[in-house]
Amino acid sequence: MTEALDVTLTVNGERHAVRVEARRTLADALREDCGLTGTHLGCEHGVCGACTVLLDGEPVRACLLFAVQAQGRAIRTVEGLAEGGELSPLQRAFIENHALQCGYCTPGFLMLGTALLERDPTMSDEALVDALSSNICRCTGYANIAKAVRAAAAEMRERVPA
């Protein structure tokens, strides 16, 4: 047992004051202390990517960060993607392209995909495959995940003319 620390996590713009041991991972803090169970744990050793969240806009594995390290940083999770009840283009594209089956890896892929699209919706196919190889999906065989990200990218390119 070690001392509990007071940490304020800013998740999807909302502040959560939590009291956690230093060893509590960000993923567990989000799930257990903030009640945001959309972030899933698939391996807890950084391989599968199910727990991918955005930290100051960058995709990170929430199982490889301690909650205390996220103090003062802007965290985004799958719960924050829909705005005012309206799905994000990527969320919609996942449904329309059947990019999920069991849905367990979906939050991680949505956060990874969101980071990619916000960074560069014009990325090459090769770069897209390289980036999506970060996460594991055991159901879909990936083809529809790539299709969904491309579809959302196309929609975003239309919205913001280059």
Partner 1 sequence: MKPPPFHYHAPRTEAEALALLAELAPAEGRILAGGQSLVPAMALRVARPLHLIDINGLPGLDRLDVGDGHLRIGPLVRHAMIRRESVPGPLGALLDKVRGHIAHLPIRTRGTVCGSLANADPASEWCLVVATLGGEMTARSLRGERAIAAEDFFQGFMATALEPDELLAGLRLPLLADGTRWGFHEFSRRAGDYAQAASLVVMEVRDGVVLAARIGIGAVEDRPRRLPEAEALLIGRAPTAELLRQAAATARATLLPTDDDPTRPALAEAMIRRALADAAGIALP
Partner 2 sequence: MDGLSPRPGEDARTLAAGPGRVVGRAVTRIEDLPLVRGEGLFAADVNFPRQLHMRVVRAEIAHGRIVSVDAEAARAMPGVVAVWTAADVADIPLIPFRATKVRGLEPYCQPVLARDRVRYVGEPVAVVLADDAYRAEDAAETVMVELEELPVVLDAAAPPGEFAPGHDTEPTVVRKEYGDIDAAFRSAHAVVELELSVGRHSGVPLETRGAIARYDAAHDVLELHGTAKKQHWNRDEIARLLGRPPQGVHLFEGHVGGGFGVRGELYPEDLLVCAAALRLRRPIKWIEDRREHLVATNHSRQQSHRIRAAVDAEGRLLGIDDVFFHDQGAYVRTHGARVADLAAGMLPGPYRLPAYRVAGHFRLTNKTPAATYRAPGRYETTFVRERLMDAIAARLEIDPVEIRRRNLVATAEMPHARPLDALGTDVVLDSGDYEGLLDKALARFGWDAMHKELAARRAAGECVGAGLAFFVEKSGLGPSDGVRVTVDATGAVEVVSGAASVGQGVETALAQICAEALGVDYSSIRVVRGRTDRIEFGNGAHASRVTVMSGSATWQASLAVREMALECAAQLLQLSPAELTISEGVVTRADGLAGPSLTLAEIARGRGPNSPAMRGQTPGLTAERWFWSDHMAYPYGVHLAQIRIDAGTGGVTVERYLVANDIGRAINPMLVEGQIVGGLAQGLGGALLEEFRYDPSGQPLSTTLADYLIPTIAEMPEVDVLIAEDAPSPLNPLGVKGAGEGGTNGAGACIASAVDDALRRPGAITSLPLLPAHLRALLVEAP
Give the residues lining the site for partner 2 (CB under 8 A). 1, 21, 23-24, 31, 36-45, 47-48, 50, 77-79, 81-82, 87, 91, 94-96, 98, 100-107, 110, 129-130, 132-146
Q: Which residues bind partner 1 (CB under 8 A)?
A: 1-3, 5, 21-23, 25, 28, 44-46, 49, 52, 58-61, 63-66, 68-69, 112, 115, 130-131, 133-135
First to last CA, the chain: 54
CB contact at 8 A, 11 and 27: no
Phi first, then psi: give them for residue 90, nearest 5 degrees.
-70, -40
Distance (Å, rounded) from C-alpha 81 to C-alpha 155? 16
Nearest approach in angstroms of CB 38 to partner 1 is 17
CB contact at 8 A, 36 and 58: no
Nearest approach in angstroms of CB 144 to partner 1 is 19
